[in-house]
Structure 1
Amino acid sequence: MQLAKQLFQVKSLDYCIRSAEIQDAAQLEKVRLLIDGETENMDRERGEAYLNATAFKRLIEEDAKSSCNIFLVAEVGGQIVGFSRCEGNELKRTKHQVEFGVGVLKEYWGYRIGRKLLESSIHWADAQEIKKMNLKVLESNEKAIELYKNCGFEVEGILKMDKRLADGNYYDTVVMGRIR
């Protein structure tokens, strides 16, 4: 599915949110690798479950054709600084829902880029008559949890000891959902 480009200015930073395009694949490969290594908020460490440009091209092509997926990017001055994706499926019992994920380069935190990616995804999901959006977030990512709550998501459960981080300790994952 495709989304029209949206322009934003926050704290003198101009950026746009738009659908991912084939020519974004090489940048996405690099940006995802950077985001995965900047914090422990993501599911992966840097280099794990690596996607190269070819894999991103396939993903972008598939999502553009699908009515139950959307892949968005945040762009500043021609450079991708973040992305989000909603992934659904065509199974009769679960095609009413999508899984949401987001990542923004740490340098660009505080400009509401993650919020705009989320709001754009919610708007898309509502237009597609998707009844439920799901996501998972690390318990220690309090800012993200607050953002999700402010956008209508509710805590649906906790996955105990779900992630082991660099400090050697186990952390819970918060499962959240938004029902339209």
Structure 2
Amino acid sequence: MIIRTIREEDAQNFLEMSKILDSETQFLLFEPGERETTLKDQRESIKKTLEQENSTILVAETKGSLAGYIAGRGGNARRNRHMVHIVIAILQKHTGKGLGKKLFEALEEWAQEKGIHRLELTLMATNTNAFRLYEKMGFSVEGKKSHVYMIEGEYVDEYMMSKLIK
């Protein structure tokens, strides 16, 4: 398993992985078939992310295919450039093998190199496996928002978590 910074030429594989993730889990924003991102859009998004000093996407690659990713998007004003919002997703067949921990460790190393001080993320309150991982990685709950998502006719709350580094 290799963890590396995404490249523009990963756009097709990244988009395909994202669509698979949409169908594998209810813990991400989009439902199956809802993602309207084109290959051109994906390539532009990757390019824009890589151009920002305080943003990145790290991918986990195994045997030439993508297994998951962690994205950090930094604030774009002077007052919040020290903060990065995180999204992480791993293909189902690669979960439970320590990949999430490795992705977080790689992102935190990148964040320290960039002078990032605050990492933050949100998650559905029903995502207990992710919650345990985030706590293990040093994140703590800052708050809860009620009825943020509608999953199979039921409202789902959202936790906001953060970790201060450096």
TM-score for both structures, normalised by structure 2: 0.94
Q: Is residue 69 of structure 2 the alignment partner of residue 83 of structure 1?
A: yes
Structure 1 position 47, deviation (Å): 2.8
1:7-45: per-residue Cα shift (whole Å, max 9, x none)?
Answer: xxxxxxxx1111111111111111101101111111111
Native 8 Å contact 1:17 1:74 kept in 2: yes
AA of the residue aligned to 1:91: A
- The residue that corresponds to 1:63 in the other structure is 49
Q: Where does the alignment leave 5 or more consecutive residues of structure 2 unmatched?
A: none
Structure 1 position 52, deviation (Å): 2.1
Quick one: which of 100, 115, 127 aligns to 1:114? 100
- The residue that corresponds to 1:175 in the other structure is 160
Task: From the superposition, tell whether residues 50 and 119 of structure 1 become closer, same or farther in structure 2 (CA, over 3 Å).
Answer: farther
Quick one: which of 118, 136, 143 aligns to 1:132? 118
1: distance between equivalents of 2:148 and 2:50? 32
Query: After TM superposition, where is structure 1 displaced by more than 6 Å over at least 4 residues in a row?
Result: none
Q: Where does the alignment leave 5 or more consecutive residues of structure 1 unmatched?
A: 1-14
Secondary structure in 1 matching 2:20? helix
1:145-164: per-residue Cα shift (whole Å, max 9, x none)?
Answer: 11111111110000111111
Quick one: which of 146, 167, 176 aligns to 2:132? 146
RMSD: 1.2
TM-score for both structures, normalised by structure 1: 0.87
- The residue that corresponds to 1:22 in the other structure is 8
* Percent identity of equivalent pairs: 27
Structure 1 position 88, deviation (Å): 0.9
Structure 1 position 57, deviation (Å): 1.2
Aligned residues: 165
